[in-house]
Structure 1
């Protein structure tokens, strides 16, 4: 029992808290001009993360789940249409209750792709359609490289707060996200076996790099005292993300009823369609908003949403995984 508990311990969530605390305590090294040179470190970290994603991405598993087209359509529409629509509705209701940077962060959360590892892990634990989960999670990550910045640019243009020309964002995305992803995928010819044998090491490097990016993301905002007077914003963001999660999950569940999905497909749709990725969200934000000191505020919604989705989906996975076998 002790060994099993120790094996399941995930240091990433507490590490995220430590990274933020370090940024508030020691913002200098990761702030603009600091000795960590964040302007170089962040882009190198982003490239490393997406290279590792490319190495770990198996298109054999992707093909295995490719034929449930109604399920895939539901998940992708929920991820890239339902979420942004609900986000815009909630922002309209909130009005001026939250600051412009947090409004941008809330919409950015809605525009992000789904998670990969946790969606598949939760689906497996709940005895859902695992091949379809792998397909949807991987497809969502690939679509998100293009759709997330496009949706965010559209929102910024509509709100009149555009920070960077779209052409520059797209070029940075291609250089620091798409190119490393493609190189990683091409390198699977030589590295697939190594990646399979060293999944835990790759996962640790991936998570450690993300924590470093979280630290540098908050350093500038702390150094420039951006967080002063934003306690109410954080409270509203927590309430908003919780409502958003349950609204999306409820609508996906109701749609599965209408479409007559099996229990396994319903589980896959709920877990893949309701999740948002922190692993890709932080690097993409570094590329799109790295020049603004409010980056920490922009990332706050996804940093609240991430542990919340894991906690709730973990409870549901355990409950659904204990259901009786069919027949």
Structure 2
């Protein structure tokens, strides 16, 4: 394989490296309140673009079929809002006797309680070629479910209480997820025949949008300066976050590939990303509401700020490997008569 073909095949991974370097060199350009205005361009426009693009590219019949994949939805939501918080709580309990910063450990617990994201899991599933319809449904449904479940989990595990303005959060989700998805479906219905004749690169559009999200996320990360945090504690938390994500990805993959569950390879891809990713877009605003005026809010937010870019980086690195596995595994799912026709 020539260098050109390698770069052409892995351009997304190269793009991730480039935007991280750019964010390190010029973090002020993409930071909150900076020239790019990510609080508008990313929070609303980029996320809305992703879901409008998904609505435009998804066949309505596929989305309808995804609504009835109850077993898959129960697995994803139970894993991300059931198993993960309990597992992270046990992990934090074990680490409480260590010398790690107390509020960093609380921040790790916050990560475990967060709902699935509204963008990265969908794009990675689309990039691999998995069950995008199921990813869209679980991202949207999990986000709405998280608005209610996440504050309750935080109240239970951290003992922090606050009143969450459900109306404003539901409005934001409706504007950036539900409405763009519906508009995309309406546009597809009206231009169905044209779309079938024109090869629109939906996956490429979503990938570039994700690169923008990665860039602004790392701009915020590189711009923040937490002088009160023990450097060793921060380093250990970074390692824990990486190990935690690898373990959760492996566990979700291992369980969902159990033959008795009968999940198809494309379903496994959506399960892997949707059940292990956590939302920064919903998480940070929710933390600002729940811990309003708290002196350690910035420290509590750090593990989530680490988890978010890590899940995108790790997911991006896994894309070619997961795609290869899925293509091979799909061949095993074909009926015998189809396999014989392909020989």
TM-score bracket relative to the smaller structure: 0.7 to 0.9
Are the aligned partners of 1:213 and 1:282 in contact in 2 as well (CA < 8 Å)? no
Write the distance in 1 (CA, Å) between the matches of 2:27 and 2:124: 31
**Partner of residue 179, structure 1:** 179
Write the distance in 2 (CA, Å) between the matches of 1:205 and 1:238: 28
Instruction: State the shift of 1:240 in Å.
Output: 0.9
**Partner of residue 105, structure 1:** 111
Write the distance in 2 (CA, Å) between the matches of 1:100 and 1:300: 19
Are the aligned partners of 1:145 and 1:178 in contact in 2 as well (CA < 8 Å)? no
Instruction: State the shift of 1:3 in Å.
Output: 11
**Partner of residue 17, structure 1:** 17
Q: Deviations over 1:29-55 (max 9, x none)?
A: 222332222332222222222222222
Between 4-13 and 297-306, the greater mean CA deviation after superposition: 4-13
Write the distance in 2 (CA, Å) between the matches of 1:58 and 1:325: 22
Write the distance in 1 (CA, Å) between the matches of 2:252 and 2:224: 36
Are the aligned partners of 1:136 and 1:272 in contact in 2 as well (CA < 8 Å)? yes
**Partner of residue 82, structure 2:** 85
Write the distance in 2 (CA, Å) between the matches of 1:3 and 1:323: 32
Q: Structure 1 residues 94 and 35 mapped into 2: Cα distance closer, same or farther (>3 Å)?
A: same
How large is the RMSD of aligned CA atoms in angstroms?
4.0
Instruction: State the shift of 1:164 in Å.
Output: 8.2
Are the aligned partners of 1:105 and 1:297 in contact in 2 as well (CA < 8 Å)? no
**Partner of residue 316, structure 1:** 325
**Partner of residue 152, structure 1:** 150
- The 5 Å alignment of 1:1-327 reads 5=5, 9-42=9-42, 43-63=44-64, 65=65, 72-95=69-92, 96=95, 99-108=105-114, 111-112=116-117, 115-116=121-122, 119=125, 133=131, 136-158=134-156, 159-160=158-159, 165-167=164-166, 168-193=168-193, 195-196=195-196, 197-200=198-201, 202-226=202-226, 229=231, 230-254=234-258, 256-257=259-260, 261=262, 265-276=263-274, 281=279, 284=282, 294=301, 296-307=305-316, 309-310=318-319, 313-317=322-326, 319-320=328-329, 327=336
State the secondary structure of the residue aligned to 2:257.
helix
Write the distance in 2 (CA, Å) between the matches of 1:289 and 1:192: 42
Are the aligned partners of 2:88 and 2:108 in contact in 1 as well (CA < 8 Å)? no
State the secondary structure of the residue aligned to 1:207.
helix
Write the distance in 2 (CA, Å) between the matches of 1:281 and 1:59: 26
Q: Deviations over 1:191-231 (max 9, x none)?
A: 4455552431x333322222222222232332231497322
Instruction: State the shift of 1:92 in Å.
Output: 1.9
Write the distance in 2 (CA, Å) between the matches of 1:121 and 1:32: 28
State the secondary structure of the residue aligned to 2:30.
coil
Write the distance in 1 (CA, Å) between the matches of 2:133 and 2:32: 39
Are the aligned partners of 1:276 and 1:306 in contact in 2 as well (CA < 8 Å)? no
Instruction: State the shift of 1:80 in Å.
Output: 0.5
Between 30-39 and 2-11, the greater mean CA deviation after superposition: 2-11
> Which ranges of structure 2 fall in alignment gaps of 5 or more residues?
290-296, 337-343
State the secondary structure of the residue aligned to 2:35.
coil
Write the distance in 1 (CA, Å) between the matches of 2:191 and 2:152: 38
Instruction: State the shift of 1:235 in Å.
Output: 1.0
Instruction: State the shift of 1:241 in Å.
Output: 1.2
Instruction: State the shift of 1:66 in Å.
Output: 5.9
Instruction: State the shift of 1:178 in Å.
Output: 1.9
Give me the TM-score of the superposition, normalised by structure 2.
Answer: 0.71
Greater Rg by CA: 2
Instruction: State the shift of 1:27 in Å.
Output: 1.3
Write the distance in 1 (CA, Å) between the matches of 2:160 and 2:285: 17
